[in-house]
DNA sequence: TCCGTTATTG
DNA sequence: CAATAACGGA
């Protein structure tokens, strides 16, 4: 038996709007931890993974794991019948063949109830790509949308290149070629966060080599780069790279940046679980407990994003700052069509995270408070 | 000779926008009382009746009745040439074959003049359905629009059911079933207004029977339910039904709720023709002269609507309150396609009134100050 | 109120 | 398959 109450139907509406063109049918896997969905797009080029964590619900109960097979288009229609601020309750009995959605107007007297027919969907085995990456970029989701949309006017694919220069998005088209370079706020750091909410140290990647792995410096000073560590430091520290640039080496494993598989930790970072203060204080925390146990394993967890949003109190519009972390030079080419599609999720949250390693699928992660939506996209073969 | 000057062209523009998809050609019947139009939709399933009352015009003169046959599409085009706030004057000579429309910019120096070719249209005999109903619902026109639009995503038809629970709109579709329940403000009253601006008494319909006719109680207390009677009372009186519920019986004729055929009375109710006070005071009036001469015959006159808007001074957002009046349980099924079309008129006025009786066409009435647009739609046969 | 997207018609 | 109109969203 499932009963999940969302304070605002809008989250669900946005999520389904985001995936409805990618996926036609999918299983919503409900369990004690929350609800997840994983599906390949119809052409099996992209993979979407959605998670709604249990504590993101106003009320959540799921006695035993149950997959709810839904037609995404139908669910989208049903969700269109909800107003954004309606309280939305999902219910499904064990073995039920319908999912019941109830919308209650905040102010009272309208109650709508919808029964969506469920279907059996083969739980296709989805290989979630590797979870550690050579590079991580965090930027405004709106800016990401703009970049891929702009470039999609010129060509079909985009080469994303992370170097000490910053991140470059480049597309070649018949009529014109174009590229966008994002400099990143402060020095380019190698790692920004630990997957579990630990604080990682960073080194700046300014001394990027043209080939992979090299230049990993572990000065935590550079940590200023990380979202939490501190915007404030960034300014002061920019280009504070030690002499170590160029001769760094990190364990492949440890230095890799990886997304947090668990959406829950975010809470900690985000809502100052630490109890040491509000989110902004966290910045302090980062500094205090800075020496990282390990210097890599960055996770794109919601925490990261969240942490950032809050931690970035300091200077200016944090939402606009670009954070670049890189262990080694990365250059990959992707289909813009998919990236444009992914960027629809930007209405869920202000920041998006990109994780990349050469020859490995790109991970585009939108972590919102109550969960995340992540997209994996295989690079085009002939990438430079 | 006709000369009719409207202070704002927008009214006419909206009216024609509303009917242009339903009707291709129609006669504008001009007489001393104003201008009316009645037409069946092309498939003869729905009927539209528009009235612009004489005193809704800034200036009105019509020496003798004259039908002006126009192509609605053409008139719509001509009206698109008017700005919303232009002063719009319609002129037609006796026996003329053109209708002249002049638009004067409020502030001055632009005067546009258009001559629309007229045509002879057979005055088809339109049977306006019965004018008394078992149930009346008044709600936000925007909400009505939303409900029918939402449900139209799921299925082709909607079952509208009025019971003591409230009004339920339900639609079954291939992928999902859905329903919206509106609770109504305060207790469900049987009758709310007399057609002529008389004060009717009401009883609440809480003790509704499953079959028609029954439960008519004449306690004026319940009158609080009516729009004029008073929102204020509603809160206090909710469920104040006397013991009489359940054993009422009303004359079929007298208890029926019917739309006001005359657009003018509204003025009386609305603008305190009685001169005993302003609209709000009217509430008082209702109570003072409560013992109804007759207890039914409710009319959907504009007065009703208007009265409500004003009478509903009390509590909250009157525009959102749902008013339900019912003599007996009603359940009918209608084509959503038409209802969606009707709901285009919601840009004319904030409230819409629905009148229903079993096995009889639904009346959807938008009464704006200067007249009304009403739609009649036959129920689908197999309705429960 | 204007722009973009979607659906319908030719 | 393309163009036009309608509907929905920003």
Average pLDDT over residues A170-177: 92
B183:A112 CB<8 A: no
Strands A166-172 and A371-377: unpaired
Which pLDDT value is given to residue A232?
Answer: 40
pLDDT of residue A209 exceeding 50: no
- Over chain B, what is the mean pLDDT? 76
Nearest CA in chain B to A77: B153
Confidence of residue B39 (pLDDT cuts 50, 70, 90): very high
Joined together, the tokens standing for residue B3 give: 């000369």
Confidence of residue A298 (pLDDT cuts 50, 70, 90): low
Residue A166 or residue A42, greater confidence? A166
Which pLDDT value is given to residue A106?
Answer: 85
Q: Which of A112, A116, A117 sits opposite B179 (nearest CB)?
A: A112
Q: Name the nt closest to B150 by C-alpha to C1'.
A: D8
Average pLDDT over residues A165-179: 93
Lowest mean pLDDT: which of A132-136, A161-165, A351-355, B187-191? B187-191
Nearest CA in chain B to A107: B320
Which pLDDT value is given to residue B107?
Answer: 84
Residue B320 or residue B233, greater confidence? B320
A109:B322 CB<8 A: yes
Q: Is the dihedral of CA A288, A294, A300, A301 positive or negative?
A: negative
Q: Name the nt closest to A80 by C-alpha to C1'.
A: D8
Average pLDDT over residues A111-130: 90
Which pLDDT value is given to residue A330?
Answer: 96
Average pLDDT over residues A200-209: 37
Mutate to test the interface with A, among B169, B176, B322 (most CBs of A within 10 A): B176
A109:B184 CB<8 A: yes
Average pLDDT over residues A71-78: 95
Lowest mean pLDDT: which of A97-106, A175-184, A223-232? A223-232
Question: Looking at the complex, does the CB of residue B184 fall below 8 Å from at least one CB of chain A?
Answer: yes
Question: Looking at the complex, does the CB of residue B183 fall below 8 Å from at least one CB of chain A?
Answer: yes
B182:A117 CB<8 A: no
Residue A351 or residue B222, greater confidence? A351
Q: How far is B344 from chain A (nearest CA, A)?
A: 18
Question: Looking at the complex, does the CB of residue A116 fall below 8 Å from at least one CB of chain B?
Answer: yes
Confidence of residue B301 (pLDDT cuts 50, 70, 90): low
Q: Which of A78, A80, A109 sits opposite B183 (nearest CB)?
A: A109
Three-state secondary structure string covering chain A? CEEEEECCHHHHHHHHHHHCCCCCEEEEEEECCEEEEEEECCCCCEEEEEEEEHHHCCEEEECCCEEEEEEHHHHHHHHHCCCCCCEEEEEECCCCCEEEEEEECCCCCEEEEEEEECCCCCCCCCCCCCCCECEEEEEEHHHHHHHHHHHHCCCCEEEEEEECCEEEEEEECCCCEEEEEECCCCCCECCCECCCCCECCCCECCCCCCCCCCCCCCCHHHHHHCCCCCHHHHHHHCCCCCCCCCCCCCCHHHHCECCCCCCCHHHHHHCCCCCCCCHHHHHHHHHHCCCCCCCCCECCCHHHHHHHHHHCCCCCCHHHCCEEEECCCEEEEEEHHHHHHHHHHHHCCCEEEEEECCCCCEEEEEEECCEEEEEEECCCCCCC
Average pLDDT over residues B159-165: 96
Please give the share of chain B, as a percent, with pLDDT higher than 90.
59
Confidence of residue A307 (pLDDT cuts 50, 70, 90): very low
Which pLDDT value is given to residue A256?
Answer: 65
pLDDT tens digits for range B89-101: 999 999 999 999 9
A113:B143 CB<8 A: no
Nucleotides of D under 7 A from a protein CB: 6-10
Average pLDDT over residues B311-332: 75
A116:B182 CB<8 A: no
pLDDT of residue B175 exceeding 90: yes
| Bridge partners for B26 per DSSP | B70
On whether the CB atoms of residues B147 and A82 are closer than 8 A, the answer is no
Confidence of residue A255 (pLDDT cuts 50, 70, 90): low
Mutate to test the interface with A, among B178, B234, B238 (most CBs of A within 10 A): B178
Which pLDDT value is given to residue A261?
Answer: 64
């Amino acid at each position: 038996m499932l009963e999940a109450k969302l304070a605002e139907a809008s989250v669900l509406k946005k999520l389904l709007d985001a995936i409805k063109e990618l996926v036609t049918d999918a299983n919503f896997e409900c369990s004690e931890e929350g609800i997840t969905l994983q599906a390949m797009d119809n052409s099996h080029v992209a993979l979407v993974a959605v998670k709604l964590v249990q504590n993101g619900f106003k009320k959540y109960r799921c006695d035993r794991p149950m997959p709810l097979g839904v037609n995404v288009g139908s669910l989208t229609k049903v969700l269109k019948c909800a107003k954004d601020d309606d309280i939305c309750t999902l219910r499904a009995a064990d073995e039920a063949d319908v999912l019941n959605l109830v919308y209650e107007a905040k102010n009272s007297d309208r109650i709508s109830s919808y029964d969506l027919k469920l279907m059996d969907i083969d739980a296709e085995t989805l290989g979630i790509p590797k979870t550690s990456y050579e590079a991580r970029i965090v930027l405004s989701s709106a800016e990401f949308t703009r970049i891929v949309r702009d470039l999609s006017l010129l060509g079909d694919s985009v080469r994303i290149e992370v170097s000490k220069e910053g991140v470059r998005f480049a597309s070649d088209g018949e009529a014109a070629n174009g590229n966008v370079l994002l400099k990143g706020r402060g020095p380019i750091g190698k790692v920004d966060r630990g997957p579990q909410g630990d604080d990682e140290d960073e080194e700046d990647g300014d001394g990027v080599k043209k080939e992979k792995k090299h230049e990993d410096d572990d000065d935590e000073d550079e940590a200023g780069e990380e979202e939490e560590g501190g915007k404030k430091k960034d300014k002061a520290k920019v280009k504070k790279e030690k002499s170590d640039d160029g001769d760094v080496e990190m364990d492949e494993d440890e230095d890799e940046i990886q997304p947090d598989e668990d959406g829950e930790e975010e809470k900690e970072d985000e809502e100052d679980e630490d109890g040491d203060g509000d989110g902004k204080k966290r910045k302090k925390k980062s500094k205090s407990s800075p020496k990282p146990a390990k210097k890599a394993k960055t996770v794109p967890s919601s925490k990261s994003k969240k942490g950032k949003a809050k931690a970035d109190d300091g200077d200016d519009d944090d939402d606009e700052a670009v954070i670049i972390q890189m262990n080694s030079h990365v250059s990959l080419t992707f289909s813009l069509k998919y990236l444009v599609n992914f960027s629809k999720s930007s209405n869920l949250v202000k920041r998006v995270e990109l994780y990349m390693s050469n020859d490995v699928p790109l991970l585009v992660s939108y972590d919102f408070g109550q969960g995340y939506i992540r997209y994996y996209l295989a690079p085009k073969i002939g990438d430079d």
